Every structure is written in C-alpha cells, then in structure tokens.
C-alpha cells in the first residue's frame, strides 16, 4: 500500500475497510482519486485468502461490475498490483474485443473477475463461468450503471450470486 503512494488510509478506506472486513454491506461515495478502488479491493483480497482454493470449474470468489471497459481495465490493474503478493489471479471481462483470451483466463480459474455486465452475462450463458462461488460483490459506479440502463443485466447477474439469492 505504501508503494502505491498511500501514507495513511484515505477517508473512504478508513470507513470502508472495517465494514467490508466484517462482511457487511457497504455503499461508498467518493471522488475520483480518493482511493475508492482500494477501499473495496484490499478487503476483497483478504476475503479471497480466507476461502477454500478454487477447484476446476469454479467461478470467481470476487466479482466487481463496472459500467465501462475503461474503468474495468483500471480496476483490474489495481487488482493485479495488490493481489500479486497473495498469488491471487484476476481477469477483466468486457465487450468489443475477442472473447478467446477472456475465456482462457476464466477456464484457468481466477479468484477475482472485473467485468462489464453485458460481456459477463454472455460468458455465463456460454457456460464459460458461473457465479456459484461469488461471496464478495462490488458494483463500482452503480449509479452510472443504472443511468446507462444496466438495471436488467445487474438484476440477472445478482440473481446468479448464491449468497444473495432469496431461496
């Protein structure tokens, strides 16, 4: 964390980390550059390390949804940087590019998936991944995803996440 230039936790991290580490639901509102991504990624990494390792065919443990490929790529860069010391694998799933490399990452098994809603649904419906193991879910820029009309896709994805199911 110090290597990333953080001397002490930012306000969103100070408030978010204790809640996320306790497994509580959290809504955070913070400006760009406030350390918001790390506010949910570091607890996600701690969460992954506390879970049984992935078996072949398991989907991810952590799912981060983002409205755009640009944001998804930024988040994945942070996940790669901070997950490296724990050997946590992540991938970025978004449309507008060939599916092959994304499918290969999913088949190899990754603990963290950062995705845009449309491509993730495509991967689920094509049986390239599943959300059975997801126990940590982040909707980054949830308000923007709703403004962009992703509500049906978000509902479809959330319905696949076991710990959120009503049954």
Domain residue limits, the chain: 2-164
pTM for the predicted model, two decimal places: 0.91
Exposed, middle or buried, 5 (CB in 10 Å: 0-12/13-18/19+)?
Answer: exposed
- pLDDT tens digit at each of 167 positions of the chain: 666 666 888 888 988 888 888 888 888 888 877 888 999 999 999 999 999 999 988 999 999 999 999 999 999 999 999 888 888 999 999 999 999 999 999 999 999 999 999 999 999 999 999 999 999 999 999 999 999 999 999 999 999 997 765 44
> Coil, helix or strand for 31?
coil
Instruction: From the options 3.90.1750.10, 3.40.50.1950, 3.40.50.11540, 3.40.50.300, give the CATH code of 2-164.
Output: 3.40.50.300
> How many Cα neighbours within 13 Å face the side chain of 43?
24
């Amino acid at each position: 964390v110090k290597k990333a230039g953080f001397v002490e936790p930012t306000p969103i991290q100070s408030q978010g980390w204790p809640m996320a580490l306790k497994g509580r639901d959290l809504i955070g509102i913070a400006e760009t550059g406030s350390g918001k991504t790390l506010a949910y990624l570091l607890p996600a990494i701690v969460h992954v390390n506390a879970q049984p390792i992935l078996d072949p065919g398991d989907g991810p443990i952590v799912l981060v949804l983002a409205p755009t490929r640009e944001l998804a790529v930024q988040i994945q860069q942070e996940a790669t940087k901070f997950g490296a010391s724990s050997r946590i694998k992540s991938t970025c799933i978004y449309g507008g590019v060939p599916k092959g490399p994304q499918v290969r990452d999913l088949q190899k098994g990754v603990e963290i998936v950062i995705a845009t809603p449309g491509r993730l649904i495509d991967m689920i419906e094509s049986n390239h991944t599943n959300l059975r193991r997801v126990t940590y879910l982040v909707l980054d820029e949830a308000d923007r995803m709703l403004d962009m009309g992703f509500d049906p896709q978000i509902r479809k994805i959330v319905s696949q996440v076991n710990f959120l199911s009503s049954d």
